[in-house]
Every structure is written in C-alpha cells, then in structure tokens.
Amino acid sequence: MMVIRPIRADDYPALYGIAVESGHGFTSLPVNDELLMRKITRSEQSFSKVVSQPGDEGYLFVLEDTTTGEICGTSAIEAAVGLEDAFYHYHLGKVVHSSRSLGVYKTVDILTLCNDYTGVSELCTLFLRENRREKNNGRLLSKMRFLFLAEFSSRFADRVIAEMRGVSESDGSSPFWQWLQEHFFSVDFPTADYLTGIGQKVFIAELMPKYPIYVSLLSKKAQAVIGEVHEQTKPALALLRSEGFSNRGYVDIFDAGPTVEARVEHIRSVRNSQRLQVQIGTVTQGQPFLISNTKLADYRATWLALDINEYSEQVVIPAAVAEALQVAAGDWVRVTRI
C-alpha cells in the first residue's frame, strides 16, 4: 500500500537520493547534507508545534510503500514564504509608449522584480521517483496536500502558490538565466540555483537589475521560455489547473517558469472534501478517493475505491487501510475524489 506520512530523521538517505535524482532546477532539494537534515528537523518541529497562525513552518511528507518500506517520493507545504528570507519573483506586465503627434502607439512587455507573494503558503518539493510514476501515485503525492490544507487551515494563509519548474537544457543551463548571466551575473544557472536552495540569496539583491527589464531586449531563446514549464512538469501544472490554480503573470527569476496561485477555499479538492466517520468493513465497489486521518504529527493519507456520495456521513474502509491510516471505528477521516 502507498501511504503518505510526515518525514522522519531516518528517511534522510532516501531524501538525499531523491535530491540527486531531481536534478537541476529543483531548488527546494539541493544536494547538501546539512541543509537536507535541517529540512527534516524543521519539518519535525513544525508538526509538533502549537500554531494559531501561519509562520515559518515547513511540512515535509514522504510517500512510502508499506510493503517494502521504500520511500518513493516527497512533497511539502510552506506555511508562509518570505518571512525569514526575501521571496523574489518577476512580474510580467506592460507599459505603453505613445506619441499622439507622431501617431505612434506601442505596448511593450516588461519584467519587474518583486516580493508580492510574501506571507502566502506554498506547495513545493514535489518529486516522484520515475519507477513509481504509475496508477494514482502522482495524484496522491500532490493532492494529499489539499486534504492537509483543508484539515489544518489555521496553519496556512488564505492564498497558496506553486512555483513550476521552468525550461532548462540537458546540461542544466537555463535559456532565461543565460541572458541574465551575460549582462548582470558571473554565475551559471546550476550555481545560482544551488545557492538559492541553501538559503544564500543575498547575491540576488546585490546583482539583480533593479529596474524593469524590457522583454524585447532579451535573446529570442530567453523570450521563448518565459512562463513555460519543463517537459517533466507539464502533468503537475495540468493537475493544478484542474484544481483551479492560474497564473497571474509571475515567473521565477532564474528559469522564468510560471508561478500559479489559488485561494485555498476555491481549490476544488478542498472545497469538495468531506469529513466522515470510520466504519470497518469490506468495500466491494466504488470510485477512487483520497483519504487521510485527521491527526497532525501522525498524519497519514492514501487512496482507494470508496462508496461515498455527498450525503454520506460515514465511510466503510478495510481493516488494512484503517491500520495504515492509524484510525479505528468511530474515528474521523477526510476524503476527496481523485
């Protein structure tokens, strides 16, 4: 059975392996022993912390095959970004150059450096190992976070974002960053990406151009990738769009990948989730649902076929699933349709 749970200290070797597999552009998991251990420790502290409003908490989950004990993937939620370190984006906007006397009217795209998303929650660190990209594993790993947001809403902001991995070449270089590097930096994309991942962001404030950048001045290759996603990221973007996420012109400052956002209350899986009471029994037919317990530190989630409708007050689950979710008859669970 595939089960989501909070990460533990003994998951470090698996997390390191995932960081290596994720490759360039996956800023939230740099290949750095100290930082990865710090992420695990911070997550453990966040799950045990008493919280009345979102702060500097980070909740890191792993997907475990309970049959083999293998860690197959990871995903996370940041409670409020930019409170400790500046959280940068470019915003793609427009300016108009016009002259009535000459009869000239020209609309020009510009990129403006900003910190507009400071304080919002973030879906991040989503990675599923290639040999496990089957059935509903990817959806479980991604969408279980909506159940967590719905159940523990006081721990998160009203708005949530997700940064989508932008276009990069096979050698790890970014067409967008190459232009910035040529004109403003002497740091290649993998190095800049790594420095950001380990929290050394001061170089951004020191070297990033302070004034809006005219998109037409960028190289053709750089212009072509603004707001575009990495080939491997397209399924994740499609899933978020189906949940109600949209892009409002914000892109990553390194690879120009889009950032999508939604109000938590408008996310489809949050809005349609139900809290039901557990009964133990046999499920003979049904539709695929995500299901989680309602515990914090002992959070568990999985998916299975269930016979539920909008009027249901209880849900019947097999004993093995109840054991995996650490629930008993009479306990509460939260469910949403896959």
Stretch 119-132: mean pLDDT = 92
Angle among Cα 53, 61, 21 to the nearest 5 degrees reads 130
The topology under which CATH files domain 272-337 is Barwin-like endoglucanases (2.40.40)
Angle among Cα 77, 165, 175 to the nearest 5 degrees reads 150
Per-residue pLDDT band at 201 (split at 50, 70, 90): low
Residue 160 CA to residue 123 CA, distance in Å, equals: 7
Share of the chain above pLDDT 70, in %: 94
Residue 52, classed as helix, strand or coil, is coil
Task: Quick: pLDDT tens for 309-331.
Answer: 888 899 999 999 999 999 999 99
Residue 9 CA to residue 184 CA, distance in Å, equals: 40
Please pick, among 24, 89, 230, 266, the residue that the annotation labels catalytic.
Answer: 230
Residue boundaries of the structural domains of the chain:
2-90+114-269, 272-337
Angle among Cα 77, 204, 29 to the nearest 5 degrees reads 35
Looking at residue 264, the DSSP 8-state letter turns out to be G
119: left (phi over 0), alpha (psi -120 to 50) or beta: left
Question: In this structure, is the dihedral angle defined by the CA atoms of residues 268, 270, 274 and 278, taken in order, positive or negative?
Answer: positive
Give residue 95's identity as a one-letter amino acid code: V
Task: Quick: pLDDT tens for 13-49.
Answer: 999 999 888 865 566 787 888 889 999 999 999 999 9
- Note the pLDDT of residue 182: 82
**Per-residue burial over 86-105, b = 16 or more CB atoms within 10 Å of its CB, e = otherwise:** ebbbbbbeeeeeeeeeeeee
57, 155 in Cβ contact below 8 A?
yes
Answer yes or no: 24 catalytic.
no
The pTM (predicted TM-score) of the whole model is: 0.90
- Note the pLDDT of residue 27: 65
What CATH superfamily is the domain 2-90+114-269?
A: Gcn5-related N-acetyltransferase (GNAT) (3.40.630.30)
- Note the pLDDT of residue 123: 97
- Note the pLDDT of residue 52: 87
H helix runs in 31-88, sequence order: 33-48
Residue 252 backbone phi and psi in degrees, to 5: -70, 145
Task: Quick: pLDDT tens for 244-291.
Answer: 999 999 999 888 999 999 999 999 999 999 999 999 998 878 899 999
- Note the pLDDT of residue 84: 84
Bridge partners (DSSP) listed for residue 278: 315
- Note the pLDDT of residue 197: 63
Task: Quick: pLDDT tens for 45-92.
Answer: 999 999 989 999 999 999 999 999 999 999 999 999 999 888 889 999
Task: Quick: pLDDT tens for 90-110.
Answer: 999 999 988 888 888 989 999
Per-residue pLDDT band at 159 (split at 50, 70, 90): very high
Query: Is 272-337 in the same CATH topology as 2-90+114-269?
Result: no
- Note the pLDDT of residue 293: 98
Residue 276, classed as helix, strand or coil, is strand
- Note the pLDDT of residue 209: 80
